């Protein structure tokens, strides 16, 4: 079968490899659609992000590896020991996180025609979710957990810094949870326009507006009780570094909660005296999204309470285009990309 093999940072090659063997507690799946998460793009380029030390060590110790491809839709072609999970050959699935490790880091992911995946990671997809949407459900599922962890509910005001995939997912989920006012902030006007269509009540273009002043004006000088920071990360892939962390602290209300989603590529300076004076709770994800979150995310898509399709701006055909998809994802603004570029491997 064909699979992408990473020989080193910035060196990935499409090769013929041995097909995976099914074993108890696992399934072999045929990849239908795959997308490269921005974290995977950073790791491939040798930039520090979540999993960097593991990838660096494995490449040094083990040589060329099948890496990446943990966001996908696929079809089960073989499985053993279902464990009463309700999965069967022929089911369309997507994957969440597994107790056995990270797909595409600890074991091969779906930058391949076939992959072996732990059954505890797989969530069955309903008919109302397309292959393209299913491949984008892992980020949405993570955002389901974020909104629940924050406790956003009826009547709340939420500021979301960054209207990329995670930000737009949180914008929609906050409204679905009952938030009265959602304020979306970004530097790309096309993303802000989409945020408005998907439910944001106000948008702030940080490239031409003062984010802090505008948000404080919109909230009557009080700030927001909930702030989601979804824009940090390496500036090399279009993220904010750590500047949005400072903005988040500045626009949070007294007693408010700030939630940071991204993995930071470098140390971030934060004045804890400000947090102390405001009585702010600063939060990070408590646990990784699982099958429950994925199932709920799929239902929300089927019910059209959350829209994924408008974010899927670029779709390519053929496994040979995976590297092209990664390049476009690394330079989203240049190519007008929103969601990571998707690639159809098989039907």
User: Cβ neighbours of residue 17 under 8 Å, at least 6 residues apart?
Assistant: 1, 2, 3, 5, 66, 112
What sign for the dihedral angle of Cα 311, 237, 138, 251? negative
- Give the pLDDT of residue 50: 83
334 DSSP assignment: H
- Give the pLDDT of residue 290: 85
- Give the pLDDT of residue 243: 76
- Give the pLDDT of residue 233: 67
Write out the CATH class of domain 139-283. Answer: alpha beta
Separation between Cα atoms, residue 326 and residue 40, nearest integer Å:
9
- Give the pLDDT of residue 288: 76
- Give the pLDDT of residue 90: 96
3-state secondary structure 101-155: ECECCCECCCCECEEEEEHHHEEECCCCCCHHHHHCHHHHHHHHHHHHHHCCCCC
DSSP-derived 3-state class of residue 257: strand
Separation between Cα atoms, residue 261 and residue 292, nearest integer Å:
20
Containing H/E element for 328? helix 322-330
pLDDT digits (tens, 9 = 90+) for 186-224: 999 999 999 999 999 999 999 999 999 999 999 999 999
Q: Which residues of the chain have pLDDT under 50?
A: none
| Tokens describing residue 119 | 């059954």
Separation between Cα atoms, residue 343 and residue 340, nearest integer Å:
10
CB 141 within 8 A of CB 294: yes
Same fold across 2-136+312-344 and 139-283 = no
263 DSSP assignment: P
Going from N- to C-terminal start, the domains of the chain cover: 2-136+312-344, 139-283
Q: Is residue 41 packed enough to be buried (19+ CB in 10 Å), middle (13-18) or exposed (0-12)?
A: buried
Whole-model pTM: value is: 0.91
In the block, which residue shows the tokens 């990935």? 12
Planar angle of CA 43, 49, 50, nearest 5 degrees: 100
Q: For the packed helices 291-302 and 137-150, what is the interaxial angle rounded to 10 degrees?
A: 100
Where does 2-136+312-344 sit in CATH, by number? Answer: 3.90.180.10
């Amino acid at each position: 079968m064909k699979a992408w093999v990473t020989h080193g940072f910035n060196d990935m090659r499409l090769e013929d490899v041995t097909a995976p063997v099914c074993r108890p507690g696992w399934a072999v799946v045929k990849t239908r659609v795959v997308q490269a998460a921005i974290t995977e793009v950073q790791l491939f380029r040798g930039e520090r992000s979540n999993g960097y030390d593991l990838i660096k060590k494995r490449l040094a110790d083990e040589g060329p590896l099948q890496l990446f491809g943990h966001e996908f839709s696929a079809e089960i072609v073989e499985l053993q020991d279902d464990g009463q999970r309700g999965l069967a050959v022929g089911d369309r699935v997507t994957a969440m996180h597994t107790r056995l490790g990270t797909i595409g880091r600890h074991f091969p992911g779906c930058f391949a025609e076939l992959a072996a995946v732990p059954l505890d990671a797989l969530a069955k997809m309903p008919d109302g979710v397309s292959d393209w949407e299913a491949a984008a459900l892992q980020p949405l599922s993570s955002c389901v957990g974020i909104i629940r962890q924050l406790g956003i509910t009826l009547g709340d005001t939420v500021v979301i810094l960054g209207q990329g995939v995670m930000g737009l997912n949180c914008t929609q989920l906050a409204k679905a949870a009952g938030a009265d006012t959602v304020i979306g902030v970004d530097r790309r006007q096309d993303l802000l326009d989409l945020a408005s269509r998907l439910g944001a009540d106000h948008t702030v273009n940080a490239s031409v507006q003062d984010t802090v002043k505008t948000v404080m004006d919109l909230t009557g000088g009080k700030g927001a009780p909930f702030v989601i920071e979804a824009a940090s990360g390496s500036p090399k892939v279009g993220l904010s570094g750590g500047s949005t962390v400072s903005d988040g602290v500045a626009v949070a209300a007294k007693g408010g909660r700030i939630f940071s989603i991204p993995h930071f590529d470098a140390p971030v300076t934060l004045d804890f005296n400000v947090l102390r004076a405001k009585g702010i709770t600063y939060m990070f994800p408590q646990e990784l999204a699982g099958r429950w979150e994925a199932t709920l995310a799929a239902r929300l898509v089927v019910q059209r309470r959350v829209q994924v399709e408008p974010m899927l701006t670029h779709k390519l055909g053929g496994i040979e285009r995976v590297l092209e998809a990664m390049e476009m994802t690394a330079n989203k603004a240049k190519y007008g990309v929103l969601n990571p570029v998707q690639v159809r491997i098989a039907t």
